[in-house]
């Protein structure tokens, strides 16, 4: 009897804890309420509605940028080690291809030796002539690099969305260069979408004085006229790419053209100021330690930047070597400001000014958006929105109502069958079944899991196989009663003999659920999670609690007969 008392206490505590966790889902407790649990169950995109986005990742652009940086560093290394080479260039930088040009055929061996000693794990020689050696990234290295770019982009997007607290966003890789983003909840999702589309790729670039501003504007106007396009007729990023492609050969190497919006213009198209910028500065957002909203001397919002130790040293060197020149602060290929460098800046701090031709609220919103994006991490590649679908909450409500109805009907049929077929023990099994479902929702809530339609299907399936344990137990009790044993012996032996079969069946289901959880994505994982939770609650409710109920009836209330 002492053991029964402790088991009863444990069962009561488990049921009470389940009620504590579940109740906030049906009763709206305030923040200052005495109720110990305030957490509610999260609902997936297919239930509460939200946004479904597919973003394209410019992986080739990152490879191109990486190849350009590699060429710069190899030039410096080869010069330092006295490797005879006339030029290092790339005609296909987006494919990671590098071409070495030598003046004499005998110099080719020195280049090949340099590559084998310094870059044997990165570059492979694919062809050579008397005066050229062409190398390219190893396929394995390139594939791994592209995959890391995608994973870094996913992690950065997740960090940004977490800033706004969107409950359980789903962010997964789709194919070689796409990211699938599902954001439950319409209001938060809209704000998060705006933040996602702010790629926040920050660069600090020296303004080149090799072409005068008037001449640069004339060259851009000629390119627009020849190509029959304008900034107003294209996306900004496409326009910038087109202009730089058309000006190739007319502007110096290692330079690019970006634009700044005039302070008095409402849009970029209405007042774009072109800048010719050097591309070999190699100082970007990855060198930042922090970004936050600050204020200038007139109280206007601005974004204050603080570099890490390596970035601060590099920033100091760049400003020291370019005194009396302009340094452009470029965000997503848009020049935010281009202040003149008066002296070497050794403090490791800078600011992004947002201009004064705007109301304070919009300026503050933009400053917050930029600082949040930079603080959460600059995306390694630019994103392009390829698809957007909105799942309305009405559709989600209709789907969950039908899923609920299916679960209710299934549970009712099971309860009726158990009571009709097993009578008293069937009633005990039905009570345990209710506690089982209560436990599932309690654990889902406490874990902060997201309930989706596949998850509801998993719960419905759990309701189906949860009574399997009670069926085994009841059949064993029947066998013991047929052998002439009393009710106490029959109950004890029935639970004991059925336990091995119950454990075997639950272990096999758990193994299947673990495989689904490990290899599956999205809905499959949701289904697997509810299955695993259902196994735990089934063992507690349908085995442990049901035995406590039966033992209480038999031992405490001295029941002599129990219909099975």
DSSP code string of 352-375: EE--SSS-HHHHHHHHHHHHHHHH
Task: State the sign of the Cα–Cα–Cα–Cα dihedral 467, 468, 469, 473.
Answer: positive
What Rg do the C-alpha atoms of the chain give, in angstroms? 34
| Burial of 132 (C-beta count, 10 Å sphere; 0-12/13-18/19+) | middle
Residue 25 has pLDDT above 50, yes or no: yes
Q: How many CA atoms lie within 13 A of 103 on its CB side?
A: 4
141-163 average pLDDT score = 78
Q: Is 265:318 a contact under the CB 8 Å cutoff? A: no
- Give pLDDT, residue 350: 75
Per residue in 190-214, pLDDT tens?
Answer: 666 666 766 567 788 999 988 888 9
Domains 2-48+393-556 and 201-211+252-377 belong to one CATH topology: no
H/E stretch holding 260 reads strand 255-261
Question: How far is residue 520 CA from its own chain's centroid?
Answer: 16
Structure tokens at 542: 């349908």
Measured distance CA(271)–CA(178) in Å, rounded: 34
CB 431 within 8 A of CB 15: no
Overall fold of domain 2-48+393-556: Multidrug efflux transporter AcrB transmembrane fold (1.20.1640)
The pLDDT, as a whole number, for residue 396 is: 55
> Which residues on neighbouring strands pair with residue 99, listed in sequence order?
89, 134
Q: For residue 342, how many other CB atoms are within 10 A of its CB?
A: 9
Mean pLDDT of 390-400: 63
Q: Kindly report the average pLDDT of the chain as a whole number.
A: 81
Q: Evaluate if residue 377 carries a pLDDT over 70.
A: no
Phi, psi of 127 (to 5 degrees): -165, 160
- Cα separations in angstroms, 242 against 228, 231, 475: 11, 10, 77
Q: Is the pLDDT of residue 553 over 70?
A: yes
State pTM to two decimals.
0.53
The residues spanned by each domain of the chain are 2-48+393-556, 60-142, 201-211+252-377
Alpha-carbon gap, residue 100 to 114, rounded angstroms: 11
Residue 202 has a pLDDT of 75
First to last CA, the chain: 24
**Mean pLDDT on 445-459:** 80
Position 563 confidence tier, pLDDT thresholds 50, 70, 90:
confident
pLDDT tens per residue, range 258-287 = 998 887 777 787 788 999 999 888 787 777
DSSP symbol at 423: T
The proportion of the chain whose per-residue pLDDT surpasses 90, expressed as a percent, equals: 7
- pLDDT for 259 equals 92
Segment 522-531 mean pLDDT:
81
CA dihedral sign of residues 221, 227, 232, 238? negative
In the block, which residue shows the tokens 């359980």?
168
How does DSSP classify residue 208? Answer: P
> For residue 275, what pLDDT is reported?
93
- At residue 166 the predicted structure's pLDDT band, cuts being 50, 70 and 90, is low
Q: Give me the helices (H) in 23-138, please.
A: 45-48, 59-80, 108-118
For 133-144, what is the mean pLDDT? 88
Q: What is the dihedral of CA 99, 105, 109, 115, to 10 degrees?
A: -10
Counting other chains too, the contacts that 215-220 makes at CB distance below 8 Å and 24 or more residues apart are 216/251, 216/257, 216/274, 216/276, 217/274, 219/247, 219/250, 219/251, 220/247, 220/257, 220/274
pLDDT of residue 357: 46
Q: With CA atoms as reference, report the closest residue to 453 among 390, 522, 513.
A: 522
Of 359, 193, 203, which Cα lies nearest the Cα of 281? Answer: 203
460 three-state secondary structure? helix
Model confidence over 50-77: pLDDT tens digits?
Answer: 778 888 888 888 888 888 878 887 888 8
Q: Is the separation of the CB atoms in 292 and 376 below 8 Å?
A: no
Query: Which helix or strand (DSSP H or E) is residue 330 part of?
Result: strand 327-331
Beta bridge partners of 391: 50
Name which of 37-41, 274-278, 313-317, 350-354 the model is least confident about: 350-354
Beta-strand (E) ranges in 79-232?
Answer: 87-89, 97-101, 123-128, 132-137, 170-174, 178-184, 202-206
Asked if 456 contacts 539 with a C-beta cutoff of 8 angstroms, the reply is no
CATH topology of domain 60-142: 3.30.1240
Please say if the pLDDT value at position 438 is more than 80: yes
Looking up tokens 């030039």 gives: 75
For the domain 201-211+252-377, what is the CATH code? 3.30.1360.200
Q: pLDDT: is 372 or 324 the higher one? A: 324
pLDDT score for 256: 92
Stretch 98-125: mean pLDDT, rounded? Answer: 86
Asked if 11 contacts 136 with a C-beta cutoff of 8 angstroms, the reply is: no
Which pLDDT does position 258 carry in this prediction?
93
Write down the pLDDT at residue 177.
Answer: 87
What's the whole-number mean pLDDT along residues 312-325?
Answer: 86
Number of Cβ within 10 Å of residue 153's Cβ equals 26
Q: At what angle do helices 360-376 and 139-164 cross, to 10 degrees?
A: 140
């Amino acid at each position: 009897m002492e053991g029964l008392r402790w088991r009863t206490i444990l069962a009561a505590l488990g049921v009470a804890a389940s009620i504590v966790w579940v109740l906030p889902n049906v009763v709206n407790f305030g923040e200052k309420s005495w109720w110990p649990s305030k957490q509610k169950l999260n609902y997936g995109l297919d239930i509460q509605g939200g946004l479904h986005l597919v973003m394209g990742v410019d992986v080739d652009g990152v490879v191109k940028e990486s190849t350009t940086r590699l060429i710069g560093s190899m030039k410096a290394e080869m010069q330092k080690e006295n490797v005879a080479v006339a030029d290092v260039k790339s005609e296909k930088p987006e494919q990671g291809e590098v071409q070495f040009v030598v003046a004499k055929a005998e110099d080719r061996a020195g280049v090949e030796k340099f590559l084998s000693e310094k870059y044997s794990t990165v570059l492979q020689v694919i062809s050579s002539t008397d005066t050229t050696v062409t190398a390219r990234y190893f396929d394995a290295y390139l594939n791994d690099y592209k995959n890391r770019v995608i994973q870094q982009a996913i992690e950065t997007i997740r960090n940004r969305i977490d800033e706004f607290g969107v409950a359980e966003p789903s962010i997964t890789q789709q194919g070689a260069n796409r990211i699938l983003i599902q954001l439950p909840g319409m209001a938060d999702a809209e704000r998060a979408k705006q933040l996602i589309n702010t790629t926040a790729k920050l660069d600090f670039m020296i303004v080149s004085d090799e072409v005068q501003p008037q001449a640069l504007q004339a060259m851009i106007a000629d390119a627009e006229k020849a190509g029959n396009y304008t900034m107003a007729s294209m996306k900004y990023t496409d326009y910038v790419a087109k202009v730089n492609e058309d000006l190739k050969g007319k502007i110096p190497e290692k330079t690019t053209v970006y634009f700044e919006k005039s302070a008095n213009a409402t849009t970029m198209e209405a007042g774009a100021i072109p800048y010719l910028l050097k591309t070999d500065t190699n100082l970007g957002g990855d060198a930042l330690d922090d970004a936050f909203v600050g204020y200038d001397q007139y109280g206007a919002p601005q974004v204050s930047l603080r570099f890490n130790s390596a970035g601060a040293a590099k920033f100091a060197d760049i400003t020291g070597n370019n005194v009396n020149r302009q340094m452009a602060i470029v965000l997503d290929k848009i020049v935010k400001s281009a202040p003149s460098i008066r002296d070497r800046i050794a403090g490791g701090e800078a600011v992004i000014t947002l201009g004064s031709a705007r109301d304070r609220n919009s300026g503050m919103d933009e400053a917050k958006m930029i600082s949040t994006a930079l603080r959460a991490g600059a995306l390694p590649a630019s994103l392009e929105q390829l698809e957007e679908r909105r799942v309305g909450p009405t559709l989600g409500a209709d789907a969950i109502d039908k899923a609920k109805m299916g679960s209710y009907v299934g549970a009712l049929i099971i309860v009726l069958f158990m009571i009709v077929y097993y009578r008293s023990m069937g009633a005990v099994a039905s009570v345990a079944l209710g506690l089982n479902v209560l436990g599932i929702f309690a654990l889902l809530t406490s874990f902060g899991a997201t309930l989706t339609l596949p998850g509801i299907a998993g719960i419905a399936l759990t309701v189906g196989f949860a009574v399997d344990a009670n069926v085994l137990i009841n059949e064993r009790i029947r066998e013991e009663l047929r052998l002439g044993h009393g009710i106490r012996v029959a109950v004890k032996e029935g639970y004991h003999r059925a336990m091995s079969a119950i454990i075997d069946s639950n272990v096999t289901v758990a193994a299947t659920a673990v495989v689904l959880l490990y290899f599956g994505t999205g809905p499959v994982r949701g289904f697997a999670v509810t299955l695993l939770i259902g196994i735990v609650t089934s063992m507690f409710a349908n085995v442990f609690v049901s035995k406590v109920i039966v033992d209480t009836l038999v031992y405490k209330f001295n029941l002599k007969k129990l219909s099975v």
